Amino acid sequence: MLDKVLVATTNRGKLREFREIFSQYGIEIISLDDMEQKISVEEDRKTFLENAVKKAKTYGDFYNMPVIAEDAGLEVEALGGYPGVYSARFYSIDFGGKEEINRDKDEANINKLLRLLKDKKNRKARFVSIVVFYSPENTGIWTEGYCYGTIAEKPVGDKGFGYDPIFIPEGYNRTMAQLEPEEKNRISHRGKAVRKLIEILNKLSFQI
Ligand code: IMP
């Protein structure tokens, strides 16, 4: 029986969404901020899956408890899949010139993306979430979730986090940052990946 799991993140937006998605299953979610002993894991791999596996294994073995680790990001078609695994620090990488931080990193990332897409007709993009569950000496599982959409001309909305203010999900005329949390979780890459994971854990009799 799984009653407590460490979600290996310090990203508050992500953590809030994991808690919301798991709330109906009665599993306690703790985060890296709750752990007394701190270790850091560099996300230096070239794919979402490799980064997520690295985080899950390192934290799971260190704290000796079940871990869920996610690596997520935004892939923009006209930019050949960038920012991709660099989504969190897109503002600072060489691709397309660096961007100054005025308010916060999310805003700098968004400004850079809008600058690179200026005058581009193709604004197709997708959010990707790769979720890894790792239980030391027991099992390792990974799932994926995608959310397709387009990049808006300017940021709108104050919900969610990251690139949400400029992402318009397919079938909507509002940005992800204008959606209520339940609605975002229903259609989001993260919601889809986590629900797949829960289905598999149930089949493996983890009894969520
Ligand atoms: P990670 O912590 O390495 O997975 O970084 C993910 C980065 O991708 C975040 O810092 C955001 O910039 C972006 N991202 C991932 N998921 C979302 C989402 O649901 N909405 C908006 N941005 C996201």
Q: Is the beta carbon of 188 within 6 A of some atom in ligand 1?
A: yes
pTM of the model: 0.95
Ligand 1 atom with the shortest distance to the CA of 17: 19
What is each CA distance from 13 to 8, 9, 131, 162, in whole angstroms? Answer: 13, 10, 16, 8
> pLDDT of 109-162, one tens digit each?
999 999 999 989 999 999 999 999 999 977 899 999 999 999 999 999 999 999
Per the domain annotation, does 208 fall within a domain? no
> pLDDT of 35-45, one tens digit each?
999 999 999 99
**Structure confidence at residue 202 as a pLDDT band (50, 70, 90):** confident
Which residue range(s) make up the domain with 14?
A: 4-203
Question: Cβ distance 85 to 48 under 8 Å?
Answer: yes
What percentage of residues in the chain have a pLDDT greater than 90?
88
b/e 143-180 (16+ beta carbons within 10 angstroms → b):
bbbebebbbbeebebebbebbbbbbbbeeeeebbbbbe
Pocket test for ligand 1, best of 48, 163, 179, 186 (most atoms within 8 A of CB): 163
**Does residue 208 surpass a pLDDT of 60?**
no
Query: Cα(162) to centroid of ligand 1, in Å?
Result: 6
Distance CA 114, CA 147 (A): 19
Per the domain annotation, does 64 fall within a domain? yes
Assign residue 112 the CATH number of its domain.
3.90.950.10
Question: Cβ distance 73 to 83 under 8 Å?
Answer: yes
What percentage of residues in the chain have a pLDDT greater than 70?
98
Domain count, the chain: 1
**Does residue 24 surpass a pLDDT of 70?**
yes
Lowest mean pLDDT among 9-18, 91-100, 198-207: 198-207
